[in-house]
Structure 1
């Protein structure tokens, strides 16, 4: 992660519902944890996705690159992190990590989120005020 950019952190606990037959967090749940972190970050900076939707503006995941490095287990307490890696006209790419209580990286991802008009389903400019808040505000 780029330490020059603000990093948002969200604590997450692995529950029984999150695990697979082997007792590890099911791989698809890491994507859910990453999504929760990005959504909570927006809420933290005062952005309501419901209000944006009323203005026909929504965010959609366009691309994900993910590396699973270690497994999380039932009752593990994790920290999900997010920072802005790159901001473009109609998208923001987030660098995200999930770490355990020892600070070991369990999973890392690059997630490109596009901003689109929800009626036309076409890309539109990412709101600059949101980009500024994500890249300049304190966490």
Structure 2
């Protein structure tokens, strides 16, 4: 079964592209800081789809996975019309789901923002937090890695 050391070695990642829309800008004409969370979410959904455990599958398996911790580090602002490459990578899966993110300019490769989110499983029936990640997450990761061979 999947553990954090194996997950780290396999570096399962997914990416998506975002073209910065006008409505994501702040009064300084750069991307408003809160919108980077939205870009993280888009990359996270791509990553979860990759292992066939996106939000609908999570709910079907009896768990919600709320974010309990998030960190963002802003390096350089993004601008209107800029194409961004948003990358999400699994980092931990044993007791929580930790995903690392990198947002960079799709054209220059320059880093713009990085961060992580931490999610924990809670049961859909009574919202009881799980102290260990449910086997379904570890199984989906194991199945994905097995399919690569």
Under TM normalisation by the shorter chain, which class is it? 0.7 to 0.9
Structure 2 length-normalised TM = 0.79
Structure with the higher fraction of residues in strand conformation = 1
Is 1:6–1:136's contact at 8 Å kept on the other side of the alignment?
no
Distance (whole Å) between structure 2 residues aligned to residue 22 and residue 52 of structure 1: 39
Greater displacement, 32-41 / 124-133: 124-133
Is 1:86 aligned to residue 92 of structure 2? yes
The CA deviation at 1:136 is 6.8
* 2-structure distance, mates of 1:3, 1:73: 34
Q: Deviations over 1:96-137 (max 9, x none)?
A: 110002111100002111111123222233322233357677
Residues 3, 129 of structure 1: alpha-carbon distance in 2 compared, 3 angstrom cutoff? closer
Is residue 118 of structure 2 the alignment partner of residue 112 of structure 1?
A: yes
Larger Rg: 2
**What is the alpha-carbon root mean square deviation over aligned residues?**
2.2
Matched residues, number: 136
Equivalent position of 2:67 in the other structure: 61
Match of 1:99 among 95, 104, 129: 104
- Could you tell me which of 39, 46, 54 is aligned with 1:40? 46
TM-score, normalising length: structure 1: 0.84
Structure 1: runs of 5+ lacking an equivalent:
none
SS of the equivalent of 1:130 reads: helix
Q: Give ranges in structure 2 of 5+ residues lacking alignment.
A: 1-7
- As a proportion of its length, which structure holds more helix? 2
In 2, are the aligned partners of 1:97 and 1:105 still within 8 Å (CA)? yes
